[in-house]
Amino acid sequence: MACNDCIMHQISSSELVKQLGGKPGDFPIAGSIELTLRCNVRCRHCYILYPGATKGEMTTDEVKAVLDKLADLGVLFLLMTGGEPLARGDFKELYLYARNKGFLITLFTNATLIDDEMADFFAAHPPRRVEVTIYGHTEETYENVTGVRGSYKRFRRGIELILKHKLALALKTVAMRTNRHEFEQIKAWAEGLGVPFRFDAMINPQLDGGTEVLKERIDPEDYVRLEGLTDHHRDHYQKLLDMAQKKPRSRKAFSCGAGIKTFHVDPRGNIHPCMMWRNNPYSLKTGDLDGWHQHLGALRQTEIPADSGCGSCAHHLACNNCAATSALENGGVPGRPVGYYCQISYTREKLLNLHRF
């Protein structure tokens, strides 16, 4: 599974979500909205920095109308993300509108646009959680990733203000070639602040198919070592290998909760089953729940190609490849192997001494 950034990972009350959501025919109670694909930094690994990405962004009123629809559909947990959501001039208006609708909001931001005024605003109207990505421990590395001079100092100021106002903060990093040498320092700094920290090492192609960003992927062996080589990891992956042995892979390309447990709305007002799957958009501006369910139902019937190696792979339950990542790297086709993830799976098997019956 490949969805480290899905809203489901941001919800600590996952039992509540399990109980309230997830029944086919319902609309998920948790999902994300991408307010803009604009951003004030230019990160090396970013999957949305491509020509034309920011065209067709919803107006203020259009976003509000989409928020109305999501509230009517019973959505409770809403992740507001971007691009950089604070880059929208109407961010505060949209945030307050969403908050007044009763959504429990998680905000993904790089924190570089959080100044005194923005921090005071959040202190007066706190989100459920602010989650900030750390791109490097030193100014040099941070700005080598973001490509913008001065962004490191603004990021550190943003974090200080978030802490000063006692907002619920979580930190994360993306381990990539440019900042890999500072990973331990990043982790130690974040943990020293006493806030939740997580990391990810998945770099995906850009949504227009661009692969330049993949140069930032770390080596598969490094990836597995970063995940951990403990008994806990060994037991976990061995269990998944054993389960895969007993149960043949379903022919369905989607084996996750995409569209059932989560959804994603992009800046043009299109709804997708998750943040990473962007094929076959359905317009939430003009569509309705029945239309979405028909659309999603057809999508989730998609089968993996008959000749795909994933169909008979012993690693399929533990593999990082999923419908969305396969589509991103295989011309829109879900269920095909992705070489990088195959390498990770086989390296994991070797380093963790996993065995197949």
The verdict on 6 binding ligand SF4 (CB under 6 A) reads yes
Q: How many other CB atoms are there within 10 angstroms of residue 230's CB atom?
A: 10
Q: Looking at beta carbons only, is 146 or 326 nearer to ligand SF4?
A: 326
**What span, in angstroms and rounded, lies between the C-alpha atoms of 171 and 186?**
10
Q: How far is the CB of 115 from ligand SF4 (least distance, A)?
A: 33
The stretch near ligand SF4 (CB under 6 A) out of 26-34, 132-140, 219-227, 341-349 is: 341-349
Q: How far is the CB of 159 from ligand SF4 (least distance, A)?
A: 28
Q: Looking at beta carbons only, is 152 or 254 nearer to ligand SF4?
A: 254
The verdict on 338 binding ligand SF4 (CB under 6 A) reads yes
The stretch near ligand SF4 (CB under 6 A) out of 140-148, 177-185, 231-239, 338-346 is: 338-346
The verdict on 256 binding ligand SF4 (CB under 6 A) reads yes
Binding residues among 303-322 for ligand SF4 as defined by CB under 6 A = 309-310, 313, 315-316, 319, 321-322
Q: Looking at beta carbons only, is 5 or 143 nearer to ligand SF4?
A: 5
Binding residues among 275-294 for ligand SF4 as defined by CB under 6 A = 276-277
The verdict on 17 binding ligand SF4 (CB under 6 A) reads no
Which residues form the interface with ligand SF4 (CB under 6 A)? 1-3, 6, 256, 258, 274, 276-277, 309-310, 313, 315-316, 319, 321-324, 337-338, 341-342, 345
